[in-house]
Amino acid sequence: MDLFEKCRNYTVAREAMAAGLYPFFSEVESSLGTKAIIDGRKVIMIGSNNYLGLTTHPKVTQAAIEAIKKYGSGCTGSRFLNGNLDIHVELERRLAAFMHKQAALVFSTGFQTNLGGISTLVGRGDAVYIDREDHASIVEGTRLCFGKVYKFKHNDMEDLDRILRESDNNGGKLIAVDGVFSIGGDIVNLPDLVRVAKKYSSRILVDDAHAIGVIGKHGDGTASHFGLEDDVDLVMGTFSKSFASLGGFLAGEESVIHYLKHNCRTLIFSASMPPPAVAAALAALDIIENEPERRARLTDIYTRMKKEFDALGFDTGDSATAIIPIKIGENEATFRFWRALLDNGVYANTIITPAVPPGESLIRTSYMATHTDEELDQVLEVFEKVGKEFGLI
Which active-site residues does the annotation give?
182, 210, 241
How far apart, in whole angstroms, are the C-alpha atoms of residue 217 and residue 300? 15
Contact 53, 387 (CB under 8 A): no
Q: Classify each residue of 295-315 as buried b or exposed e, where b means 16 or more C-beta atoms within 10 Å of its C-beta.
A: bebbeebbeebbebbeebebe
246, 109 Cβ separation under 8 angstroms: yes
Length of the chain: 393
Q: Is-contact 71 280, C-beta < 8 A?
A: no
CA atoms of 129 and 193, how far apart (whole Å): 11
* DSSP per position, 278-336: HHHHHHHHHHHHH-HHHHHHHHHHHHHHHHHHHHHT---TT--SSEEEEEEESHHHHHH
Residues 6+ apart with CB under 8 A from 239: 110, 245, 246, 247, 248, 249, 273, 277, 280, 281, 284
- Taking a C-beta distance cutoff of 8 angstroms, is the pair 175, 193 a contact? yes
CA 45 to chain centroid: 17
